[in-house]
Amino acid sequence: MLVVQKYGGTSVGSLERIQNVANRVAKTKKSGSDVVVVVSAMSGETNKLIEYANHFSKTPSREDMDLLLSSGERVTAALLSIALNEMGLKTVAMTGRQAGIVTDSSHTTARIEKIDPEPIKRELEAGKIVVVAGFQGISKDGKVTTLGRGGSDLTAVALAGALGAARCEIYSDVDGIYTTDPRIEPKARKLDKISYDEMLELASLGAKVLQNRSVELAKKLGVVIEAKSSFNDNRGTIITKEEDIMEKPLVSGIALDKNQARVSLRGVEDRPGIAAEIFKALAQENINVDMIVQTIGRDGKTNLDFTVPQNELERVKLIMDRFSHEYESIDYDPKIAKVSIVGVGMKSHSGVASKAFETLAAENINIEMISTSEIKISMIIDEKYSELAVRSLHEAYELYK
């Protein structure tokens, strides 16, 4: 059986922690599994290198940044290999290139195009533990590339897929995925299993654990992920195909996102294409519009509400000024929160949404916007009610059980 393990920056954040990782890897190997280990840079290293680069330039070239930033993972890979060696295990440390990871040429945000599994397979067959520097690959013209934020997770998932690994274990300093943020609701419960789609919708709960790009890739490749902590031996959360989850919960978790701001246009001319023009302008500036609600207002005019990332609000205002002739008034509200209820069981059950609305109504929390998908209901509320909303919904759906 082959297991791919990935250890994040906190898990390898000091020499002592690298030794701890070595002990865990050795235990897995001695239990009879083949192991491929993917490592991040020691926590702090990447930020230090970015600071170095910014000392010289606010806009360093992406190629140079890739050469710079790829060095941190190489250091960790070499050190972990040395530590395992000293424990009597046969190892080989590999760069992304040596591990056969070929990417496109989008430096700093490269996409994996293909993986040649042969180099790793050969070493596994020779009985070695393979330690791979995460986050990096090589472009077809031979340049070092990096995969962007969460890149080491992507390396691990992609290798697990290419090698047909039984499981991809993603280690961090968090135990797994919880029904909601335990800092808000102490009764939050760790989930044993969750589907890829639920995980994608619960992004805010998994943000510290793994990025959406990795979940999407795992879904595409059919890689089973276990998210767990490198600091204890607790079971983690399995992220897998919906079909592999026997008991489909009505609701799996409650997510909270406080980083949105609402833009409200009143009295928009009701002619075709005006909304499209506005959203095109925002897209061109790489501003990610999340929820959109359009309602009929007075005099045959419409109201248009949408949310954008809070930290983009100033840029959004500049863009909206260009459209000032298209609406009667505009209002910006950064003090909102998005509460989402996620669960694959919703597909086949009605009444999930109405329970949410009732629960918030009972707490006198006004719902400003609603959007629903097959497995998610999102509601925009006044930010000050965030925690109360999360706790009462967590209770209403009995997620503590």
Residue 70 touching its own copies (CB under 8 A) = yes
Q: How far is the CB of 339 from its own copies (least distance, A)?
A: 43
**Contact flag: residue 43 with its own copies (CB under 8 A):** no
Q: Does 88 bind its own copies (CB under 8 A)?
A: no
Q: Burial, 348: exposed, middle or buried (Cβ in 10 Å; 0-12, 13-18, 19+)?
A: exposed
The footprint of its own copies on this chain (CB under 8 A) covers a number of residues equal to 39
Binding status of residue 52 toward its own copies by CB under 8 A: yes
- Residue type, position 180, single letter: T
Residue 281: partners with Cβ closer than 8 Å, 6 or more residues away? 319, 322, 323
Q: Which residue has the tokens 């991809």?
A: 168
Answer positive or negative: Cα dihedral of 386, 391, 394, 397. negative
Q: Could you give the CA distance from residue 28 to residue 24 in angstroms, rounded to a whole number? A: 6
Q: Does 71 bind its own copies (CB under 8 A)?
A: yes
Residues in the chain: 401
60 touching its own copies, by CB under 8 A:
yes
d(CA 215, CA 197): 8
**Shortest distance in whole angstroms from residue 137 CB to its own copies:** 14
Subset of 1-30 contacting its own copies (CB under 8 A): 15, 18-19, 22
Q: Pick from 28, 63, 231, 279 the residue near its own copies by CB under 8 A.
A: 63
Q: Per rule CB under 8 A, is residue 49 in the interface with its own copies?
A: yes
Neighbours of 79 (CB within 10 A): 20
Among 31, 86, 116, 126, binds its own copies (CB under 8 A): 86
Q: Which residues contact 21 (CB under 8 A, 6 or more apart)?
A: 7, 11, 12, 37, 39, 80, 83, 171, 230
How many angstroms separate the CA atoms of 30 and 22, rounded? 12
Residue from 98, 106, 259, 264 in contact with its own copies (CB under 8 A): 98
Distance, CA of 168 to CA of 190 (rounded, Å): 19
| Span 130-149, contacts to its own copies by CB under 8 A | 142-144
Strand stretches in 269-328, DSSP E: 292-296, 302-309
Q: Does residue number 83 form part of the binding site for its own copies (CB under 8 A)?
A: yes
Asked if 93 is part of the footprint of its own copies (rule: CB under 8 A), the reply reads yes
The window from 45-53, 153-161, 197-205, 229-237 that contacts its own copies (CB under 8 A) reads 45-53
78 binds its own copies (CB under 8 A): yes
Which of 6, 17, 29, 74 binds its own copies (CB under 8 A)? It is: 74
| Opening angle at CA 389, ends 193 and 350, nearest 5 | 60
**68 scored as a contact of its own copies (CB under 8 A):** yes
Based on the shown chain and the rule CB under 8 A, indicate whether residue 102 belongs to the binding site for its own copies. no
CB of 42 to its own copies, least distance (A): 9
Q: Please give the residue ranges that form the binding site for its own copies (CB under 8 A).
A: 15, 18-19, 22, 49, 52-53, 55-57, 60-61, 63-65, 67-68, 70-72, 74-75, 77-79, 81-83, 85-86, 91-93, 95, 97-98, 142-144
